[in-house]
């Protein structure tokens, strides 16, 4: 059974890149370009990891993760681990994001090797 | 003795009346002179002289009125002779006091008084002085005995001594005015000596009416005039008026008395109606005289004074219409000149509070005269505010202190009178008046007139000067205001230019930040995919992938810088208390190796500084950037390099200065070095963002960065931060670290 990873980003270039990168590493990757889609997906599927962009049109990454976790808590499921991705620093938002205890808080553009290491240590490939 | 106090022992002798009247006049004159200046020995001795004359003349009146020769003799011995005996020594004393010879002649003065007392004692106690009374047509008159004749010798000797004093003084005196005064008194003495005709009937049986008292009256009046004239009293008017009044009155009264004396029998025989008619007629006549004739005479005599009054009124009337200083001074000078026909005149004015006085108007025109405010005479004028007459300087003790100064001043101004113009205790100016064309002195009425005129003139001049001052102030304020407006406009323009520049930079920042953000995602895709391909090993041309990766990484650096400039920092850092010396140390340690390789000496010279609020990483970045810029500049110069980093604290600011001996910065470049994308480095070597980011970071720290350079010799950058505490934080122990940084 492949581990499932959800990638949330409004930038299609990136979601497609992440999908290719992670699929090559034998993960099952689902992609959402909006917070609402991510919420629906998270309700339907059980993800092992979520890669989430912070700044998105509509609800931002931090709110999205908070909503997903709240949903899972309601259904009696464990909180899903998350890696936040961001283009630039935003003090207040970063503080909120850190409060959700993510695996990492990564600035774009990132080092691919390092990112893969992070993902693989969080969700070991079976 | 009891007979002497009985009224029946006396009768009204008409010859006694003028004698008594003259006596009263002389006593009044003596008192008047005495009251002018009570402390003056001259005035006192004059008063005592008049008192003696009073004793003499009142005594003689009593003698004339006596019915009994015994009583007359007693009056003469006790009262009249008391006066007569002391007149001579008093005259002598007066001459001595007047001429200030008392110290030299005091023994003679005292001796003469002792002798006079002796003669008086002799006349009272013995019959040798005054033998008996002889009856003449004017009444009883004494006959002098042996002692009386000796007394006459003493009397004339005393007079001679006084006369000699005056005469020698007259010859010695150089001052023309004083000479005139002494001359007048000497003449008065000569007249008074004629009064001694009174002695003729005393030593012989000659029936000569003793009219000496009239000579004495004229003498006393002349002396009084001479004393008082030079004390600025209006005695002239008093004397003139008295004389005129007596003459005019006698014109009416003498015929009336004569008529009533000779026509008394006709008057008694007159019908009551006719008598009443005559009395009514006389009353009407007297009324007409008192109402019209006397004032007309007064007016005739006082015409000069009346003219002056009219002139003064005209002067003030015209003054009201004059505002201009030139017209005003002209009017003042012309008025005085027109009234007194003065040959020379000058009007001195001071244009400000502290300056000296300059001649602004004069007769003849073009007089040059300058007097400092601080001169003693002018200070005195300002304090005393009185008109000064040159003639009186020598005579009046109140001028004693400034006599010499004033005399010099009068000589330089060629004046006779000096009229200070004082308003509210401040000397505005002075009017100097020279001699009149007829060379006559200024009378009391004239000086009074001038004194009034100067007050009015002073007020008018003060107003005019004030208005000039105000106009001048207005003009100056206007100029100042214009200058200020100009300055402010310039400042405003500069500020506006700075604002425009700041706005421009901010827009560039926002734009750049936006672009950077937009590019960031695609760039991440490029980089990630390139790295992904490399990892997979699926692509044969690995070098191309490397180039893509390198290009993307450089773009990443540019984007990071741009974001920093736009204050969208990639990493979040907190403001903390930072020790600037530590930052310097870290940067020095970091760069030492690299710079040593390039033969560049790095000298850190920290001194005690307080902490600043900041982000250590960013400050390190700024410092690194600046030091690396220095390195580039030194590299271009090709000489042995030297970079010095100094820290210090002044007035609550922590300063970091980085100076090098590189190529320096061109003057025209200096103003643009902090602009984004401005670079002098070769294409591809500099982004033109290094100093822009430094400036942005420093600005974020609420600090200030500035650059100075001398082209070809090096450049220095100073960064200034506000210290969080007043006291420096790091101290002496930094010296060692300092050495460790020195290469």
Contact A17 B532 (CB under 8 A): yes
Q: Do A14 and B570 touch (CB under 8 A)?
A: no
What pLDDT score does B733 carry? Answer: 39
Contact A109 B522 (CB under 8 A): no
B379 in contact with chain A, both atoms CB, cutoff 8 A: no
Residue A7 to residue A41: CA distance in whole angstroms: 11
| B517 CB within 8 Å of a chain A CB | yes
A94 located within any domain: yes
B576-741, which class in CATH? alpha beta
Under an 8 A CB cutoff, do A111 and B531 touch? yes
Interface of B with A in 549-608 (CB under 8 A): 552, 556, 563, 568-572
**Among all residues of chain A, which has the CA nearest to that of B549?**
A111
Q: Does B536 touch chain A (CB under 8 A)?
A: yes
Name the residue among B521, B535, B571 with its Cβ closest to that of A108.
B521
**Model confidence, pTM:** 0.39
C-alpha–C-alpha distance, residues A90 and B24, integer Å: 121
Contacts of B609 (CB under 8 A, 6+ apart): B579, B580, B581, B647, B648, B649, B654, B723, B728, B729, B730
CA distance B687 to chain A (A): 20
Taking contacts as CB-CB distances below 8 angstroms, the residues of chain A near B617 are: none
Angle between the N-to-C axes of helices B212-229 and B16-36, in degrees from 0 to 180, rounded to the nearest 10:
20
Instruction: Please indicate, yes or no, if residue A124 is contained in any of the structural domains.
Output: no
Taking 50 as the pLDDT cut, the residues of chain B under it are 231-235, 568-570, 729-743
Tell me if chain B has a CB within 8 Å of the CB of A112: yes
Q: Which whole-number Å values give the CA distances from A88 to A53, A93, B699, in the listed order?
A: 11, 11, 20
Please answer yes or no on whether B529 and A20 come within 8 Å at the CB atom. yes
Which residues in chain A touch residue B535, judged by CB atoms under 8 angstroms apart? 112-113
What CA–CA distance (Å, rounded) separates B629 from B214? 122
Q: Residue A110's closest chain B neighbor by CA?
A: B524
- CB distance from B523 to chain A under 8 Å? yes
Burial class (CB in 10 A: 0-12, 13-18, 19+), B7: exposed
Number of domains chain A contains: 1
Convert the pLDDT of each residue in B543-591 to its tens digit: 888 889 889 988 888 888 777 776 644 455 678 888 999 999 888 887 8
* Residues paired with B605 in a beta bridge: B646
Residue among B529, B536, B563 whose CB faces A17 most closely: B529
Contact B50, B83 (CB under 8 A): no
DSSP class of B5? G
Q: Is residue A125 part of a domain?
A: no
Tell whether B63 lies on the interface with A, counting CB pairs under 8 A: no
Q: Does A114 touch chain B (CB under 8 A)?
A: no
Query: What residue numbers bound the domain in which A14 lies?
Result: 4-118
The CATH topology of domain B307-471 is Beta-Lactamase (3.30.450)
Cβ–Cβ below 8 Å for A113 and B535: yes
Query: What CATH number did the domain enclosing A93 receive?
Result: 3.40.50.2300
A105 interfacial to chain B (CB closer than 8 Å)? no
Please tell me the distance in Å from B650's CA to the nearest CA on chain A.
34
In this model, does residue A42 exceed pLDDT 50?
yes
ipTM of the complex as predicted: 0.86
Q: Kindly list the residues from chain A whose CB atom is less than 8 angstroms away from the CB atom of residue B567.
A: none
Q: How far is CA B384 from CA B181, B378, B415, in A?
A: 27, 10, 19
Instruction: Mention the CATH class of domain B2-233.
Output: mainly alpha
Whether residue A50 is predicted with pLDDT greater than 90 in this model: the reply is: yes
Please give the Cα distance from B378 to B433 (Å, whole number): 16
* DSSP type of residue B617: H
Gyration radius of chain B over CA positions: 56
Residue A55 lies in a domain: yes
Collapsed DSSP state (helix, strand, coil) of residue B162: helix
B170 touching A, CB under 8 A? no
What confidence score (pLDDT) does residue B228 get? 63
């Amino acid at each position: 059974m492949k581990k499932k990873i959800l990638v949330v980003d409004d930038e299609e270039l990136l979601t497609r890149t992440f999908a290719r990168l992670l699929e090559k590493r034998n993960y099952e990757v689902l992609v959402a370009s909006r917070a609402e889609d991510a919420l629906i997906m998270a309700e339907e599927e059980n993800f092992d990891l979520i890669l989430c962009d912070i700044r998105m049109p509509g609800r931002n990454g931090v709110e999205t993760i908070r909503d997903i976790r709240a949903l899972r808590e309601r259904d009696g499921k464990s909180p899903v681990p998350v890696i936040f991705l961001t283009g630039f620093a935003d003090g207040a938002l970063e503080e909120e994001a850190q409060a959700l205890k993510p695996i990492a808080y990564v600035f774009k553009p990132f080092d691919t090797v390092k990112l893969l290491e992070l993902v693989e240590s969080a969700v070991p490939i079976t | 003795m009891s007979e002497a106090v009985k009224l029946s022992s006396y009768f009204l002798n008409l010859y006694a009346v003028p004698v008594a009247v003259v006596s009263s006049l002389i006593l009044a004159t003596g008192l008047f002179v005495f009251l002018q200046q009570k402390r003056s020995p001259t005035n006192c001795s004059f008063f005592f002289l008049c008192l003696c004359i009073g004793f003499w003349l009142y005594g003689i009146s009593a003698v004339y009125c006596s019915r009994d020769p015994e009583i007359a003799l007693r009056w003469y011995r006790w009262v009249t002779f008391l006066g007569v005996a002391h007149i001579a020594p008093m005259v002598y004393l007066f001459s001595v006091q007047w001429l200030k010879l008392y110290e030299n002649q005091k023994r003679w003065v005292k001796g003469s008084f002792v002798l006079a007392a002796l003669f008086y004692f002799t006349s009272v106690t013995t019959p040798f002085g005054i033998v008996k009374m002889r009856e003449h047509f004017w009444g009883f008159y004494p006959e002098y005995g042996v002692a009386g004749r000796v007394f006459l010798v003493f009397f004339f000797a005393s007079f001679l001594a006084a006369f000699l004093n005056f005469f020698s003084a007259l010859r010695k005196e150089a001052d023309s005015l004083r000479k005139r005064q002494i001359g007048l008194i000497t003449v008065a003495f000569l007249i008074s000596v004629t009064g001694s005709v009174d002695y003729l009937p005393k030593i012989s049986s000659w029936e000569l009416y003793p009219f000496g008292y009239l000579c004495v009256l004229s003498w006393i009046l002349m002396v009084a005039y001479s004393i008082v004239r030079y004390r600025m009293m209006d005695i002239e008017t008093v004397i003139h008026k008295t004389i005129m009044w007596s003459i005019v009155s006698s014109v009416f009264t003498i015929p009336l008395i004569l008529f009533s004396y000779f026509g008394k029998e006709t008057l008694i025989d007159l019908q009551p109606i006719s008598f009443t008619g005559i009395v009514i007629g006389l009353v009407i006549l007297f009324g007409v005289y008192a109402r019209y004739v006397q004032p007309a005479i007064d007016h005739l005599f006082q015409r000069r004074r009346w003219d002056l009054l009219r002139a003064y009124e005209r002067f003030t009337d015209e003054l009201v219409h004059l505002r201009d200083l030139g017209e005003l001074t002209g009017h003042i000078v012309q008025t005085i000149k027109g009234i007194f026909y003065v040959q020379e005149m000058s009007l001195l004015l001071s244009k400000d509070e502290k300056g000296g006085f300059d001649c602004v108007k004069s007769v003849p025109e073009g007089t040059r005269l300058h007097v400092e405010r601080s001169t003693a005479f002018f200070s005195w004028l300002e304090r005393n505010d009185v008109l000064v007459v040159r003639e009186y300087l020598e005579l009046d003790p109140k001028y004693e202190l400034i006599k010499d100064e004033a005399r010099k001043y009068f000589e330089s101004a060629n004046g006779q009178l000096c009229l200070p113009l004082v308003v509210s205790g401040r000397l505005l100016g002075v009017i100097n008046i020279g001699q009149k064309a007829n060379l006559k002195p200024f009378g009391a009425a004239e000086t009074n007139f001038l004194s009034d005129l100067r007050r009015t003139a002073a007020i008018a001049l003060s107003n005019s000067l004030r208005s000039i001052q105000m106009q001048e102030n207005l003009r100056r304020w206007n100029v100042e205001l214009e200058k200020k407006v100009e300055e402010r406009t310039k400042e405003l323009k500069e500020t506006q230019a700075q604002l425009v520049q700041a706005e421009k930079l901010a827009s560039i920042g926002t734009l750049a930040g936006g672009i950077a953000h937009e590019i960031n995602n695609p760039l991440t895709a490029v980089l990630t995919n390139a790295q992904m391909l490399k990892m997979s090993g699926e692509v044969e041309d690995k070098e191309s992938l490397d180039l893509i990766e390198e290009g993307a990484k450089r773009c990443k650096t540019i984007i990071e810088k741009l974001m920093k400039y736009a204050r969208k920092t990639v990493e979040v850092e907190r403001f903390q208390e930072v020790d600037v010396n530590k930052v310097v140390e870290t940067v020095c340690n970091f760069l030492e190796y690299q710079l040593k390789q390039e033969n560049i000496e790095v000298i850190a010279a920290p001194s005690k500084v307080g902490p600043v609020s900041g982000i250590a990483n960013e400050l390190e970045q700024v410092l690194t950037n600046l030091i690396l810029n220095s390195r580039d500049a030194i590299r271009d110069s090709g000489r042995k390099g030297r970079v010095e980093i100094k820290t210090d604290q002044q007035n609550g600011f922590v300063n970091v200065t980085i100076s090098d001996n590189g190529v320096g910065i061109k003057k025209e470049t200096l103003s643009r070095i902090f602009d984004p994308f401005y670079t002098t480095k070769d294409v591809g070597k500099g982004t033109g963002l290094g100093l822009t980011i430094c400036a942005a970071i420093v600005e974020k720290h609420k600090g200030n960065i500035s650059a100075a350079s001398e082209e070809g010799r090096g450049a220095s950058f100073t960064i200034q931060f506000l210290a969080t505490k007043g006291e420096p934080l790091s101290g002496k122990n930094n010296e060692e670290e300092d050495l460790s940084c020195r290469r």
